[in-house]
Each structure stands twice: as structure tokens, then as C-alpha cells.
Amino acid sequence: MNEQAVANAQVAKSEWTELQRDIAGQLDPTAQSSDWRDWQWQLKHSIRDIELLEYMLGKCFSSQEQEQLRRTVAKFPMSITPYYFSLIHKQAYSTDPIYLQSVPSSLELETHSEEMADPLAEDKHRPVSCISHRYPDRVLFYVSNACAMYCRHCTRKRQVGDRESKPGRDDIEQGIEYIRNTRQVRDVLLSGGDPLMMDDEFLDWLLGRLVNISHVEVIRIGTRMPVVLPYRITDKLCRTLAQYHPLWVHTHFNHPREMTEAAAESLAMLADAGIPLGNQSVLLAGVNDCPRIMRRLVHRLVANRVRPYYIYQCDLAEGLSHFRTPVGKGIEIMESLIGHTSGFAVPQYVIDAPKGGGKVRVMPNYLISCSDRHVVLRNYEGMIVTYKEPDTYTPRSCEGGCERCGLDPPESGAEELDAIGIHQLLTNTETTEALVPASNERAHRMH
């Protein structure tokens, strides 16, 4: 870029819209455009109480509504960045997807018998306080309990914003030690809360410790910052992260309106730093439960170098019942995506199974039937076709003789695990013929 182009870019960066200036002025009469783009200013001026919310919305809740909202916020905290608040369409706020994701609702106080405080049983899978080890080769590392915005649909509502359970340096050290001592862990997902609430120096220290563990092959960061506070993505942060490749970032856009110019700029900065980007959406009633909305969203994501990764079915967490849709809605959305748009723009639809069952893919069924010679398939248009199986296939069995197959052991030294579950039934048929639930009465009687 020549000098003039750099100067123009700086001017463009310092500009703000009239709406942003008005919102900033309501929160801080001395605010400048540079403050608006300062993530610390945004955090300091986030909307956290009902009175301020009413003032900013230009609306008075009834005394009953106020009371219910106060109770809601006492149980599940509120924090809305001025930036995210500026995306609300105030003229139709009660059905606005940005409003619904950020502003508390008294419906969050309703409890239903199927709901759980910890629906994914994450707390039961914690060998140490800030690690959840649910899957064989990867762990979730909780490094922060704070978020820039407390999403109303958060599955970890029970713990985010709870200062009492904030991980301390000792907890983090303990987590690092657990990973160091567990050689099967090759993938570490930093989560929380939002890990990017931590300052750059802390992230630098933590990532430096993790990359020095030889069997850790990849680190991922789950963050909603590009959506709710894109100014957190600074040049300095990108320089810090770029030292620790392979590092992936998963973000969380739920609606195409969240893909603003500032959001797109933050994604471009991360992508230019060589960081692969993925997106995890949650299917939410009233927010994105529509094939057209989801299609627009995935198109905006890929246009900004973000691979749509998952659409989650809304969890059975307390306070989320008003966001839940039938699973059929998710299948309908997948039917509208698969084949209708580029394959790499199609996320996987998953239910994070209660009781720690983990992610279960629930996709439309494309395999209609099969014989030993043919497989019958249907495509996205409803066309039914047959695929002929090969006449000459020599089954290949794996006895772990990897040298014969030319497969080198993992360079990182990460421990390889034996097959479990259905994979075990398919591969270790000599030793495993059935998987029987521990509570199966008939099996107990037989013993």
C-alpha cells in the first residue's frame, strides 16, 4: 500500500456511523470514534443492568417485566457490548434476532423437567477443575469464565459470568500438567467463557506452554469475539496467535446480519494471520430457524473465509426451552443446503447428546437400500439411483502392521488409541461381538 492508501485506510478506520456515535454518546459523552473501536472501552461500557437497557432502548418495561428481568439477570447475567447493541433493529426489537440473542427474557426462568444445569455432563468429565476430557484424543480447556456478551442461548449459562468459579493461575497450571501427562491428547480446545477475554500476554504465555508439549498437535480457540466484539481482533493479537500454528479459531455466527463490515474485517485479519476459521451456529427458534436465513449465513461465512463447521441443535440446558426447535427443523435446513450449495459451505448438523453422549450427527438419509451388489441412493433432487459395488475387492484387515502399509507412527508421539464403540464392533470382531448396556437386565441374569 502506498502512503496515501495507508492514510485513507486510517481515516476509514477512524470513521463511525451516526448510530454508533449516538450509542457511544449515550454511554460516554466524551467518547471518540477511536474509543468505539477500542475493545476495552466496549467492555467497560457494556450494558449490564435493566435501567441502562431501558434507557438505551428508549423503552420502559412494566414494573412486572422489570421485576422478572431483574430476577433473570440475577440468575443468568447480562452483558451486551455497545457494538452488538448497535445491530439491534429497535423498531421491531421483540422479533429481532440480535435482540433475542442478547437481551434477557423472563422465559429463561421457566424450567422444564427435561432441562439440566449441565446437559452435556461436562462437569462429570473433569479430571482437573478446568479440563473436560470427554473424547479420546482431545480436551476442552476452560481458561475464562467471562464473555464480552452473555448469549441468552448459552449452554454454559450456569458458569459464565460466575466470578466465584473463575479459573485461577493454579487451575490453569493444573490443566497444562494434565495435558502434559496424558499422551493421548493431541488436540486442545481453549474455551470458557471466551478465551479472548484474556489479555494478549496471558494468551502468549498459555499457548507457549501448550505448544511445548510434544504430543499436542493442534490448538483451537472457541470465541464469539468476531461476532460480538470484533475490535478485540487487533494486529497485536493476530501477531501473538500467529506464533503458535497450527492454531484454529472457531467462531459463532448465528445470523447473516451479524456479518458486518467490522466482523468481516476481524475475520480477514485472522485469516491473513494464517489461522483457519470455522463457525459453529446454534439452531434457535425465532433467530435462524429458516432455510433461507441459514443459506444466507453460510454464504456470508465462506465469502469471508470461514468454513461452516456445525449447526448445533439447542441443548437441554436450563432456561433455553424458548429457543428450542424440533430436530425436524434442522433436517429441513440440511435438506435445503446439501446439494443446493457448495459442499464446503454445508455444516454438519449435530445434537450434543445429553449425559455426556457427545456430538451425534443427525443428517438426512441418502442411502435408501442396498444388496451385496448394489447400493440405492437418492440425491438432493429426489432422483433415485443405483451404485454398483465392485466385483473384485480384497478385504483388508488391520492387525496393526502399519509398516506393511507404509504408515509412520505420529511424529508428535501422541498415543494411538484402540478402536471403541461401533468402530470396535466393525474392526475387532474376534474379540468383540456385542456392546451391551451396563444396565441390561438379561445380561445380568445370564451371568
Cell of 144: 475464562
**Of residues 209-228, which lie at the interface with ligand SF4 (CB under 6 A)?**
224
Tell which one of 35, 122, 194, 204 touches ligand SF4 (CB under 6 A).
194
Tell which one of 37, 45, 134, 156 touches ligand SF4 (CB under 6 A).
156
Cell of 155: 449452554
Q: Which of 216, 227 has the CB closer to ligand SF4?
A: 227
Alpha-carbon span 308 to 334, nearest angstrom: 12
Cell of 170: 493454579
Alpha-carbon span 400 to 174, nearest angstrom: 34
Alpha-carbon span 126 to 77, nearest angstrom: 24
Q: Which of 97, 193 has the CB closer to ligand SF4?
A: 193
Q: How far is the CB of 413 from ligand SF4 (least distance, A)?
A: 32
Q: Which of 167, 213 has the CB closer to ligand SF4?
A: 167
Sign of the torsion formed by the C-alpha atoms of 354, 357, 358 and 364: negative
359 is catalytic: yes
Task: Indicate whether 277 belongs to the interface with ligand SF4 (CB under 6 A).
Answer: no
**Where do we find the cell 455497545?**
82
Task: Indicate whether 259 belongs to the interface with ligand SF4 (CB under 6 A).
Answer: no
DSSP 234-297: -HHHHHHHHTT-SEEEEE---SGGG--HHHHHHHHHHHHTT--EEEEEE--TTTT-SHHHHHHH
CA dist 257 → 204, 228, 297, 364 (Å): 32, 12, 8, 27
Q: How far is the CB of 360 from ligand SF4 (least distance, A)?
A: 20
Q: Which of 107, 377 has the CB closer to ligand SF4?
A: 107
Task: Indicate whether 229 belongs to the interface with ligand SF4 (CB under 6 A).
Answer: no
Query: Could you tell me which stretch among 55-63, 192-200, 311-319, 375-383 binds ligand SF4 (CB under 6 A)?
Result: 192-200
Alpha-carbon span 188 to 201, nearest angstrom: 19
- Which residue among 300, 315, 324, 349 is the active-site one? 315
Q: How far is the CB of 234 from ligand SF4 (least distance, A)?
A: 18
CB 321 within 8 A of CB 112: yes
DSSP 393-439: -------S-HHHHTPPPPTT-PPP----HHHHHHH-TTT------TT
Helix (H) or strand (E) holding 226, with range, is helix 225-228
Q: Which of 192, 347 has the CB closer to ligand SF4?
A: 192
Q: How far is the CB of 341 from ligand SF4 (least distance, A)?
A: 26
Tell which one of 82, 97, 193, 226 touches ligand SF4 (CB under 6 A).
193
Task: Indicate whether 197 belongs to the interface with ligand SF4 (CB under 6 A).
Answer: no
Task: Indicate whether 167 belongs to the interface with ligand SF4 (CB under 6 A).
Answer: no
CB 154 within 8 A of CB 160: yes
Query: Could you tell me which stretch among 143-151, 272-280, 289-297, 336-344 binds ligand SF4 (CB under 6 A)?
Result: 143-151
Query: Could you tell me which stretch among 176-184, 189-197, 350-358, 420-428 binds ligand SF4 (CB under 6 A)?
Result: 189-197
305 is catalytic: no
Other C-beta atoms lying within 10 Å of the C-beta of residue 4: 8
Q: At what angle do helices 63-75 and 50-57 cross, to 10 degrees?
A: 120
For the CA atoms of 168, 169, 171, 177, the dihedral, rounded to the nearest 10 degrees, stands at 170
- Which residue among 93, 135, 244, 380 is the active-site one? 135
Alpha-carbon span 195 to 297, nearest angstrom: 24
38 is catalytic: no
Query: Could you tell me which stretch among 104-112, 150-158, 299-307, 406-414 binds ligand SF4 (CB under 6 A)?
Result: 150-158
- Which residue among 83, 84, 142, 147 is the active-site one? 147
Tell which one of 80, 140, 160, 314 touches ligand SF4 (CB under 6 A).
160
* Closest residue by Cα to residue 176 from 223, 135, 127, 137: 127
Q: Which of 251, 304 has the CB closer to ligand SF4?
A: 251
- Which residue among 130, 151, 238, 314 is the active-site one? 151
Query: Could you tell me which stretch among 13-21, 38-46, 187-195, 299-307 binds ligand SF4 (CB under 6 A)?
Result: 187-195
Q: How far is the CB of 196 from ligand SF4 (least distance, A)?
A: 10
Which residues are catalytic, by number? 134-135, 138, 147, 151, 154, 156, 315, 352, 359
> What residues make contact with ligand SF4 under the rule CB under 6 A?
147, 150-151, 154, 156, 160, 192-194, 224
